[in-house]
Structure 1
Amino acid sequence: PVLAGRLHYSPALPPLRAGLLQRMPAGTALKIHAVYARPFWRAAGLSGVAQSAEGVLTETVDNTPPGAPRAVLTGFAYGAEAALLRRQAPGARRRAVLDHLTALFGPEAGEPEEFVEFDWLAEEWTRGCFSGHLVPGAWTAFGPVLREAAGPLHWAGTETAVHWNGYFDGAVESGYRAAEEVRRSL
């Protein structure tokens, strides 16, 4: 929705649709991959999966591909923590993330061979992730037009899904729904 709201429409979108797009920003998230020579956390009896109520990472997962020569811990920072990290210089951001991984998985977590980060907010074709969300008050005022066609324009996207909203499955489901709407309109 945040990208659809940047487009120029002629004729203009109906006011409620335009208002909806203005009130449906994408989430703020950072994803990091810390790559290690081996999955040291497993030897300590840890799964690599963690949920944190405090600190810069909300969740981590063992993202090591089967049979891979190296191991990967992937972490996610959301919302306020992601915004906080974005304001830091790259070195400070890396240190904050590695400090959090060290607190979760021990000293070896602080010394990855490689550190890769991805910021969806900075990505030109997403401007955030994982999906758009309605700001307070927008659902009751603008929500009814979420799936409503605007002339020949039919709306699909994970945000319009009935099931698995916010996920790829939801995006696919909404695509089938919108295609059926178009088919019926023809």
Structure 2
Amino acid sequence: MSVPPLVIMGVSGCGKTTVGQGLAERVPDSVFIDADDLHPAANVEKMRSGVPLTDVDRAPWLDAVGRAMREASAAGRTPIVACSALKRAYRLRILAEEPDAFFVLLDVDRAELERRMRERKHHYMPASLLDSQLATLERLAPDEPGTTVPIVGPGGEVVETVLARVVDAR
């Protein structure tokens, strides 16, 4: 099965990493990339301290995400990236580096997001930043390469739903 370079996106706690890793297990010749691993140390420290990132903070990180995707594609791999990509401008920045990127917004209701974030262990993103993430989120527009997937049910079902949506969109 062939899929484009994927960005599994949404606010913290929506399941980007879980879904991205599940997709990487199903898509041949894919590589999972957690965009959180590409943040500069200063960004991680700000978030750990409960300070929302600014667009200036995010710019070099988004460039690095797009470059990592492009490099994986150039190496013959299908990148599957877990990345918040909350604003259209952020997605455009990623597309500038990897023009074939396809975005999958994981849509989870607020109560479930809060529950998930309270239960997380060892993650630098505190639940207190959920409000700023929800306020920043710009849903995918009809002219953007992507799809929105409402999250209901267990993770395995979500992976199957995402795969079906991506294949149908091509």
The answer to whether the superposition gives a TM-score over 0.5 is no
The TM-score, its normalising length taken from structure 2, stands at 0.26
Q: Which has the higher contact order (CA 8 A, sep 6+)?
A: 2
Structure exhibiting the larger radius of gyration computed from Cα positions:
1
The TM-score, its normalising length taken from structure 1, stands at 0.25
User: Hey, which of these two has a bigger chunk of helix by percent?
Assistant: 2
